[in-house]
Amino acid sequence: MNGKRALILLTFAIIIILVAAVVFVSIEVYPQWPTLGIAAILTLIVTAFGSVVAILGGLGNAIKTIEQIFPESAHWGYEKKYREYLHYWNRTVDVKGLSTVGTYSIDLEKVFVELRLSFENQAKTSADIVPEELIQLSRKRHGLWELLQFEALSSKPLVILGPPGSGKTTLMRYATFVLSSERKVRRQTEAPDKLPILIYLREHQDNIAATDDPFSLVDAVAYAFGEYDKQLPKPWLRGKLDKGRCLIMLDGLDEVADDKKRRDVVSWVEKQIDAYPDNQFLITSRPHGYRSNTLQGVHTCEVQPFTSKQIEKFVQNWYLAHEIMSQQRDDEGVHMEARKGARDLTQRLSSTPELMALAINPLLLTMIATVHRYKSALPRRRVELYKEICDVFLGQWRQARGIEGDMTPEQRRSILQPLAFHMMAQNSREIPAYEAETIIQPRLRTVNPDLEPKDFL
């Protein structure tokens, strides 16, 4: 409204100036009829001003009508800001929860190694008729952008399963980073032309579980923006969702500790899928946590462990990024130093099968590379490295991610120790679930008698 008033006043001022000029000229040229001329001109001013006001008033009503039909129109230009915010929030590597960290942030794009996803298990175990295209997909490992191009996957949400530390959240953050980059950057990848929405489900479990006020996907995005003191125009985002313009990433379906809240979250996810069926959905979860709370009408794929080539590429990327930041320059000397450190670590991994078995997990590889980089070596006793890994998985990493729990890391370790000893004595890396539950039950009862072994695991 302020802009409209200013426009009216400006128009009126221009009319007065023009009329004054006409009056002056008229008096100079025709001095015999100034009174009649001025009266006529004043009438013209009033008429012209009334016409301008009417036109501008009609324009204002037209704008209001357009905004009602197209709610996005009231926020033209906001998409650039939205993408900028997401770009800033997802551009660095998240190392919260690691006990050994550097003094600076590393750009995610500098170290990211694309994960490979597999449909092999779905093709084998699905009771539904699996499309031929999906059967063909199951015979290879694929990157995320490659998968999203297949028509067989576009009609259903895609659930991405992977064990803790396998890189699911990092994959979602990297996808958000790419989709929020400048258009020329997005075109250099196979990424779809979609608006990214990234939601960490664990952060919204209380709002989702609340029954007094329905909580929508738009509300979740607005809540996340509020954490950074940014306002999200909800009509703008609803317009994008209604048009099917979005790639919606819901991270951590299993990361809700309370059983009832977890069921509420699963139900909420299904409602959002039904509410916005024209958009693409990606949902991440651990395999075990997902099997007890599955989604209907979805495709599922699994994150594959790092190959030796992926491990080598990550170590090279990691060392180079850290050397550049550490020395604050990027020249051949820095690259030489990075190659030296990366070569030493890859040789140590290759010569130590036990460490290589850990390095196929991206989080564990990050921990190993970080310890090696900042301590100039790996611990002489592998048990020291294993202890740090246990501390991260049982406590620090979970706490940094905001995953609630009613046990301390020490309590979790004490419950798992009998299981670890049993598996070591049996020289086995896998054990049936029922057997593991039986082994941990006595210790679990002393710590939390109300918790069932299967729920703990």
List Cα–Cα distances, 327 to 111, 225, 324, 330, 374, in angstroms: 17, 35, 5, 8, 14
Q: Which residues make beta-bridge pairs with 142?
A: 117
Average pLDDT over residues 14-26: 63
Share of the chain above pLDDT 70, in %: 71
> Does the pLDDT at position 158 exceed 50?
yes
Q: What element of type H or E holds 386?
A: helix 382-391
Q: What is the pLDDT of residues 281-293, one digit of tens each?
A: 999 999 988 888 8
Q: Would you say 72 and 79 are in contact if contact means Cβ atoms under 8 Å apart?
A: no
> Residue 62 pLDDT more than 50?
no
**Averaged pLDDT score across all residues of the chain:** 81
pLDDT band at 58 (very low <50, low <70, confident <90, very high): low
Which tens digit of pLDDT belongs to each residue from 183-236? 888 888 888 899 999 999 999 999 998 877 789 999 999 998 988 888 899 999
Q: Using CA atoms, how far apart are residues 436 and 420, in angstroms rounded to an integer?
A: 10
Instruction: Report pLDDT digits (tens) over 360-412.
Output: 999 889 988 888 887 767 766 667 777 777 776 676 545 555 555 677 878 88
In CATH terms, the fold of domain 79-303 is Rossmann fold (3.40.50)
Residue 75, C-beta contacts closer than 8 angstroms, at least 6 positions apart: 233, 235, 236
| Residue bearing the bigger pLDDT, 261 or 51 | 261
pLDDT band at 152 (very low <50, low <70, confident <90, very high): confident
pLDDT given for residue 277 in this prediction:
95
The pLDDT of residue 23: 58
Is residue 128 pLDDT above 60, yes or no? no
Report field, pTM of the whole predicted structure over 0.75:
no
The predicted structure's pLDDT at residue 253? 93
pLDDT tens by residue, 430-439: 788 888 999 9
pLDDT score for 28: 58
* Res. 66: pLDDT tops 50: no
pLDDT tens column, 419-428: 988 888 876 7
**Domain map of the chain by residue range?**
2-69, 79-303, 406-457
In sequence order, the β-bridge partners of residue 25 are none
Q: Which of 383 and 51 is assigned the larger pLDDT? A: 383
With beta carbons less than 8 A apart as the criterion, state whether 252 and 200 touch.
yes
Contact 119, 301 (CB under 8 A): yes
